[in-house]
Amino acid sequence: MRRFFNSTIFLCLISYLLLTSAQCAFAIEPVAGGTFWQLSAARLNDWSDAKLAAEVSAVKQAGMDTIIIHYTAVWNSPSQQYQTFFQGAGFPLFDTLNNRHPLQAIFKAAEKQKIKIVLGDFLAPSDSRYTNAAKALQEWTSPKSQQFRRDLINTFKKNPSFYGYYIPNEVYPSRVKNQEDQLLWIKATQQVTHFVKQLKPDLKIIHPIGLYPQWHFDDAGKRTLSAPSREFLQQFWQPWMEQLNDVDIWMTIDGVGTAMATLKNSDQAQQWLGEMAQNAGKEYWVDVENAVMNSHGYHSFTIDQLAKSLQVAVTHADKIVLFEHLLYMSPHSSRETARQLYQDYLKYLKDR
């Protein structure tokens, strides 16, 4: 009886360990759970509402469940106003949009495919973002800007696919002139995130948190990227995490494709930023760049390049998202390298 009892315990223990091991292996698979889409006047000329809806299916086929619309409006410096592709009040429409409703088409397809949609906000005006933060943030939080957010969120708030709201301001610590300006940024962001939460409390608010590089000169005198130190990251970002209580998810852009980081120093920074987010009780996502987007050109990664970045991010992230789908990893893109990366990624998923 005792031998049977011990054998039973042993078999149960082995089964538990095997099950746990399988669950962990699944949980840490280096694959993307979502992707960014960038929509603009020029982009929408190439992507009809029907093509956008078909692309939702392509995202689903690639095993992803989340689409982040990077911006819903863009700043037009000559006219000193925001323009949008969203048919609502607040901002004027792109001139070429006519009577199209691209967001409606995307949401309709997403509901059918059970895809989550995260709507992006819009950047503080580029012509004064750092030179005159008070002016830029006043425009970003103006009554007209808040009215746009209200119309946008109220239009889609009952759609079951409406999952989150993305604050796209990627604030560069080195370009924020002083502590007073940093406080202005935090307070303005606090105002916007709280406003969004009041409109739809269940929205997941996502904010980028930068791993922006530091530089050093190596023994040969060559200027080389360094991972930002833990102290540097904490000094700048800790006040944001402490004061922006409405943010649910902090997201790091890995910086590999834009040459802002090497895989090695991105790995280190992701570890530290992930720990900060975890200590704040928040989710931590990593935005893995899937293309070269720097002085060396603009073109899709190979699947081998992408796989290396995924392997780094998976050790730190609660979720991985890619940047950017429509231009760099779509089966319907006009770019052959984008179509190739999509097909190679499907094979990568199958092989795993």
What pLDDT sits at residue 227? 72
Name every residue whose Cβ is closer than 8 Å to that of residue 114 and which is 6 or more positions away in sequence.
Answer: 60, 65, 161
What pLDDT sits at residue 215? 66
The b-or-e profile of 245-265 (16+ CB within 10 A means b, else e) is ebbbbbbbbbbbbeebbbeeb
Query: Within a domain: residue 48?
Result: yes
Q: Which of 3-12, 109-118, 177-186, 296-305 has the lowest mean pLDDT?
A: 3-12
Residue 147, phi then psi, degrees to nearest 5: -65, -40
What pLDDT sits at residue 19? 39
| Cβ neighbours, 10 Å, residue 158 | 8
pLDDT digits (tens, 9 = 90+) for 78-104: 999 999 999 887 899 998 888 899 999
- 270 close to 227: Cβ distance less than 8 angstroms: no
Residue 306, phi then psi, degrees to nearest 5: -65, -40
Query: Within a domain: residue 259?
Result: yes
Query: Within a domain: residue 8?
Result: no
Tell me which of 36 and 230 has the higher pLDDT. 36
Query: Within a domain: residue 21?
Result: no
In this predicted structure, the answer to whether residue 198 has a pLDDT above a threshold of 60 is yes
Query: Within a domain: residue 13?
Result: no
pLDDT band at 213 (very low <50, low <70, confident <90, very high): low
What pLDDT sits at residue 214? 66
Q: Which of 260, 258, 264 is nearest to 312 (CA)?
A: 264
In this predicted structure, the answer to whether residue 8 has a pLDDT above a threshold of 60 is no
Asked if residue 275 has a cis previous peptide bond (ω within 30° of 0), the answer is no
pLDDT digits (tens, 9 = 90+) for 36-45: 999 999 999 9
In this predicted structure, the answer to whether residue 160 has a pLDDT above a threshold of 70 is yes
What pLDDT sits at residue 352? 86
Distance CA 165, CA 145 (A): 15
| Domain extent for 102 | 33-351
| Cβ neighbours, 10 Å, residue 101 | 15
Domain total of the chain = 1
pLDDT digits (tens, 9 = 90+) for 247-268: 999 999 999 999 888 999 899 9
| Cβ neighbours, 10 Å, residue 196 | 23
pLDDT band at 279 (very low <50, low <70, confident <90, very high): very high
In this predicted structure, the answer to whether residue 222 has a pLDDT above a threshold of 50 is yes
Q: What is the mean pLDDT of the chain?
A: 90
Encoded tokens for 157: 């708030």
Name every residue whose Cβ is closer than 8 Å to that of residue 252 and which is 6 or more positions away in sequence.
Answer: 208, 209, 210, 211, 269, 270, 273, 274, 284, 285, 286, 287
Query: Within a domain: residue 265?
Result: yes
Query: Within a domain: residue 178?
Result: yes
In this predicted structure, the answer to whether residue 13 has a pLDDT above a threshold of 50 is no
Alpha-carbon separation of residue 134 from 41, 141, 187, 232, 325 (angstroms): 28, 11, 11, 24, 34
pLDDT band at 177 (very low <50, low <70, confident <90, very high): very high
Query: Within a domain: residue 158?
Result: yes
CATH of the domain at 293: 3.20.20.80
